[in-house]
């Protein structure tokens, strides 16, 4: 991954490494029951908001990791990896799991919601997928921004 070589500092390289390890090990965490998974995904203490540059860096690193050949880049891994690290950077987010009929087949999708709107999505998934489950920040999903 070229991002490692381009990392501005050791802390950047470590962040990228943590994101990579998380994404690689996430399928094991997905074997938990939903309540345990939701608790695992949330920070233990309320995080302090990170500067916008840090948020952008986390987004870039998570996308780089999920686009690599090392990680299964399905929406579930991509969304939960982004969620885990962005929540710890203080961003108020929710995760939505939805189902929809695409080309006659029932399919699922996972996406992030920030202030009531899909976050980091090329297209609005609500046009094709009906939300079935959200966690854990109802306020982020509802759009009140807390």
Q: Taking the model in full, what pTM does it have?
A: 0.85
Is residue 38 scored above 80 in pLDDT? yes
Total of domains in the chain: 1
Q: 42-66: buried (b, 16+ CB within 10 Å) or exposed (e) per residue?
A: beeeeeeebeeebbebbbebbbbbb
Range of the domain at 94: 2-142
**Tens-place pLDDT, residues 124-141:** 999 999 999 888 745 444
Which parts of the chain are beta strand (E)? 94-102, 105-114, 117-119, 130-135
Return the DSSP state at 104: T
Summary mean pLDDT of the chain = 87
* Residue 97 pLDDT: 93
Average pLDDT over residues 91-117: 93
Block residue for tokens 């799991």? 97
Helical ranges in 30-74 per DSSP H = 34-41, 52-67
Give CA–CA dist 124/98, Å, rounded.
12
């Amino acid at each position: 991954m070229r991002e490692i070589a381009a990392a501005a500092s050791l802390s950047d390289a470590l962040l990228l490494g943590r994101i990579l390890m998380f994404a690689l090990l996430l399928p094991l965490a997905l074997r938990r029951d939903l309540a345990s998974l939701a608790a695992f995904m949330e920070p233990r203490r309320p995080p302090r908001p990170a500067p916008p540059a840090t948020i952008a860096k986390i987004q870039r690193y998570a996308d780089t990791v999920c686009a690599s050949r090392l990680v299964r880049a399905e929406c579930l891994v991509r969304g939960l990896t982004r969620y885990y690290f962005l929540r710890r950077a203080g961003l108020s987010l929710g995760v939505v799991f939805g189902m929809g009929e695409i080309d006659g087949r029932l399919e699922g999708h996972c996406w992030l919601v920030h202030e009531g709107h899909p976050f980091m999505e090329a297209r609005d998934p609500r046009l094709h997928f009906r939300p079935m489950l959200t966690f854990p920040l109802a306020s982020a999903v509802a759009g009140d921004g807390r």
